[in-house]
Amino acid sequence: MKISVLTVCWNSAATIRHTIDSFFAQDHQDKELVIVDGGSSDETLTIVRSYPQDQIQLVSEPDRGMYDALNKGLRLYTGDAVGVLNSDDCFHDHTVLTRISAELEQADIVHGDLDFVENHFSKRIIRRWRAAPRPAKGFRTGWMPAHPTFYVRRKVAETVGTFDLSLKVASDYDWMLRAVELHGFGSATTKHVLVDMMVGGASTRSLGSYIGHNFEALRSRRQWLRSGPIDYALVAKPMRKLGQFFGINGAGSAKQSRHGVRCIVASVGNIHASKVGPEVKRNYVHVSAPGGHRQFYQDLFAGLFGLDPATGRIGPRLWLDLVRARHLLFATIDDDYAGFIAVALARSLIGRRTVGLFLRPSKCFESGRLVYRLKRWTFRCLRHLPHLSLFTILPFKFNRRFAQVAHGWVHDPQMWDMHDGAALIETSQLSRAVLTAAGGRAILCFLGSVRKSKGFEFLADIVSDHPDLAKDVFVVAVGRVDPACGEDCARLISAGGMVVDRFVSDDELLSLYKTCDFAWCCYEPDYDQASGIFGRSVQLGTRPIIRKGAYLEKYAQEGAVAPVCLVYGDTRDAAANIAAAAANRSDKPGRLGEIVGGWRADFVQKIRAAL
């Protein structure tokens, strides 16, 4: 039996030599390699042409992606059977094609085991895919073969036809489904590792890719199997993969059956019970990216709760580390919802607690886009997930609907993190320059990145429309300026203000809080959320200027701060209120330490209990 192997490539010089070597190492002699190149500009073609060409068909031209290239390969191959070997994958050993040929003498389709490896030098296994025979209801149960191990006789390929180019990451799933379910070809399973697959393919490179693959797979089942908008396989299919990540393999450990999800949950539970090494004793606080408030949160929580920092987008390896952690706190869930949900679901299955801070819950209740409704529905469901605790950083009384998508609330750490350290703040060259330029006038600081969403255009309107305000108030903007705010900066400067367009260190910012009388926190109505600038102002005794009706105004009811409230867009009212506050700038709030200290104690108590 002649077996054709289709390999699609594009700028694959770093890996394709391993792929071709594993093809020529096969002890099955009647074979061909069909290489469909997308017009590589690196050394890929040179490498391919360095091998004997009598068993290679090569075509190199632009294509519309991997599945378009595979369709070209289906038109070119000459064998009695055909399968796919990706340009960064290898056959596991020299007997693979011999085993496939033997199975295809009795069956129309054969598939087998697969190992996901870190690379082809170390062969370090990241996870294992162990094949199982088709259950009674096939793809409806979440079962599927591993496509790189899926080989079919010519009559199958000709009957099924081409890959569906409208599917971006799951057309291989769709092709196999049509072969097995739609046309009813019989399949055989070989209990042998056929392929070593490098992690990072189109459907495995990230959790976002996994989610996209699963929804495209659902679309395929709806089209061919007439499943509903949500079916059993939508949950069962990803759940079956949990065993692969935890290294579950061998007979019976993750059986592909109608009860496959239960089998995997039980197996993962066994791992949870048996693992006692240091890798499951780590305690993590996670952020998706360093810098800004994320880094601040991570550093603060690491110290408060004895957690190790974990940083980065959640791919398979980090997912496994976080799932295995004994204690886990997401310093913010908002930057990677998919990663957070994937970790929380897995930890819930093995009985481990997950805690997350929800910075922007108000997005769940916005209208106009489908994504807001999906987000609201998702977090309403997650509220019922065992062992998960979600906290907003705004009290529920500010918006009662927050209780629909979170379990509780805490005060934003930037409201209480340093109230005991105010006396330690020193002046800086920048703060002394601002103090000198003010010449005894009240100082109003716009701190941090200068953007329209933070109300900078409104501030420029106020000083431009009411130039007399400059007699009593000196306005300074300090931080990187968004190019869109260039004209507004020019207006502020011409009205007697000052703009410092550069990165400003934390020490410089703190010195400005101690120097200025007012901190601008009057943001656009669409930017209604907690604010670190506001929190530092409260702690350090600087009066914040806020938008009337904003969430921030409600903190004034706690008694820790006496804000200046402005009607957004009304420059006359704003100028009058700022001038009146400047005339009484000696006013200081009372009970500051007691109130802010209470916020801190409440936060620590709630998070510690949840962990």
Tens digits of residue pLDDT in 103-136: 999 999 999 999 998 888 888 888 889 999 999 9
pLDDT score of 350: 84
363 CB neighbour count, 10 Å cutoff: 16
Q: In the chain, count of helices (H) and strands (E)?
A: 22, 21
Per-residue model confidence as pLDDT tens digits over 326-347: 999 999 998 888 889 999 998 8
Write out the two tokens for 423.
């006396």
What does the pLDDT read at residue 252? Answer: 36
- The two tokens of residue 451 are 């953007």
Spans of the chain below 50 pLDDT: 202-203, 247-280, 421-423
* Predicted pLDDT of residue 249: 40
**CA pair distance 59, 73, nearest whole angstrom:** 9
Q: Give the count of beta carbons closer than 10 Å to the beta carbon of residue 52.
A: 7
CA gap 468, 449 in Å, rounded: 27
Cα gap 261→242, rounded to integer Å: 9
Indicate the pairing of strand 543-547 with strand 518-521: parallel
Give the number of other Cβ atoms within 10 Å of residue 251's Cβ: 7
Question: Which domains occur in the chain, in start order?
Answer: 3-225 (3.90.550.10), 275-409 (3.40.50), 419-594 (3.40.50.2000)
Q: What is the pLDDT of residues 150-194, one digit of tens each?
A: 999 999 999 999 999 999 999 999 999 999 999 999 999 999 999
Cβ atoms of 515 and 435 closer than 8 Å:
yes
- pLDDT attached to residue 273: 39
Helix (H) / strand (E) element for 474: namely strand 473-478
Tokens of 473: 């108030």
E-assigned strand segments in 321-441: 327-330, 354-358, 388-392, 408-409
Burial label for 465, CB within 10 Å (0-12, 13-18, 19+), is middle
Cα–Cα distance, 149 to 85 (Å, whole number): 8
CB 352, CB 326: distance < 8 Å: yes
CA–CA separation, 297 vs 358, rounded Å?
13
Query: Which distant-in-sequence residues (6+ apart) come within 8 Å of 99 by Cβ?
Result: 112, 190, 192, 194
Q: What DSSP character marks residue 203? A: T
Q: Which of 541, 485, 486 is nearest to 513 (CA)?
A: 541
